[in-house]
Structure 1
Amino acid sequence: MLVTTTYLEQTSPDQLRPAVEPAEPLQIVRAEEPSPEFSRFLYTAVGGPWSWTDKLGFTWNDWLIHITQEGRETWVAHHRGTPAGYAELQAAPSDGGTEVEIESFGLLPHAIGRGFGGHLLTRALTEAWRLHERWPALPPVSRVWLHTCTLDGPHARRNYERRGLVAYDTRTHEQADVPPPGPWPGSHTDTAAARRDHT
């Protein structure tokens, strides 16, 4: 199947358009203690329904190296004590300053459709623009960017554009048509139906 990837960016913090506060409480905190187990949980729980597979083969040590890179931060949203989503930021110095990629972003299935995505993205963009303040060796941030593709959630790109990110490139490639892995093997079935069966 053909997969289209769109790259979006902000080149000034003034481009950020904050979302309205969600009706339900959402606490967003930085996960400052490196934990390969927690990082893998977030990656599979959020990305499993959307075919995130590139890190599924990571060992514990691979995850540790990944999450302790200079300029990498993980911001986690919690609703009533339960993880609801996360954003992973990665800084890279460039000729014009520091560029920050929002490398991973999304919500767990139970948190989708509750107004959390715009609020979490607002916070992620805000913290991306301030990242150099927490990493003194890095120059000021000059650009924040991310990418989304046609395998992602149907509202992902709209959320990005509503927060002021602007598309600057689009690429299409062929990818094998395989079912999304889900957060654990065999769990790509309808989790909403399963949840209804247990309530």
Structure 2
Amino acid sequence: MELTTWYLEQSDVSQIRPGREPATAAEIRQAELASPELSRFLYTAVGGDWFWTDRLPWTWQQWNDLLTAPGVETWVAWVRGTPAGFIELDGRHPGIVEIAYFGLLPGFTGQNLGGHLLAEGLRRAWSLHERWPHQTPITRVWVHTCSLDGPAALANYQARGMSLYKTEVTPAGPITETPGPWPGAGDRGNPVNPA
């Protein structure tokens, strides 16, 4: 089995292309208070189906250290009071912002929410230096995704104006079951009815 990793970037805020209007109204707000519990919930709820495992062994302190680092921001999409997805921005390096994590909870896919959240997240990334005095004006926003991520991830990044600059193909071990949001969660289908 091979794993393909794609690296994408933008070099100017003018490259952002908006997504289509979401099928249901969503509010995107910054999680202004560091909350390891919230961030771990979002990470497992979104990434559990896509092999996001690198942070699963993190301690509360590791989460807190990241979330309180200058230039790190979490933006959450809310639908009718329920968290629907998030985007984590990492602006700890001068002039550069990485989209560290981005995605939707399973019940909110297929409603144009992903394109809307990503476009808004990109706008926030390009303006990050206005909120963090240590940060210089942003000259680059980048992200990587891989063949184990959601099937719409690469297309969404490109549709929002990000350009592919590198592709890596590496051997990967056998694919096992994804960890899910918690052990035993099983198939959750699409439990959300936004209407």
The reply to whether TM is greater than 0.5 is yes
Q: Is the Cα contact below 8 Å between 1:93 and 1:139 reproduced in 2?
A: no
Q: Give the aligned partner of residue 145 of structure 1.
A: 142
Q: Give the aligned partner of residue 59 of structure 1.
A: 59
SS of 2:136 mapped into structure 1: coil
Residue type matched to 1:110 in 2?
A: G
CA offset at residue 23 of structure 1? 2.7
Q: Is the Cα contact below 8 Å between 1:36 and 1:63 reproduced in 2?
A: yes
Q: Does 1:179 align with 2:177?
A: yes
Q: RMSD over aligned Cα, in angstroms?
A: 1.3
Q: Which has the higher helix share?
A: 1
CA distance in 2 between counterparts of 1:36 and 1:24 reads 28
Unaligned ranges ≥5, structure 2 = none
CA distance in 1 between counterparts of 2:151 and 2:139 reads 29
Alignment equivalent of 2:118, drawn from 121, 127, 148: 121
CA distance in 2 between counterparts of 1:59 and 1:136 reads 29
* TM superposition outliers: structure 1 runs of 4+ over 6 Å: none
CA offset at residue 56 of structure 1? 0.2
Percent of aligned pairs with the same residue? 52
Q: Is the Cα contact below 8 Å between 1:19 and 1:118 reproduced in 2?
A: yes
Residue type matched to 1:175 in 2?
A: A
Alignment equivalent of 1:166, drawn from 147, 163, 166: 163
CA distance in 1 between counterparts of 2:52 and 2:155 reads 20
Alignment equivalent of 2:100, drawn from 100, 103, 115: 103
Residue type matched to 1:164 in 2?
A: G
Q: Give the aligned partner of residue 133 of structure 2.
A: 136
SS of 1:141 mapped into structure 2: coil
TM-score by length of 1: 0.92
SS of 1:106 mapped into structure 2: strand
- What is the aligned length? 191
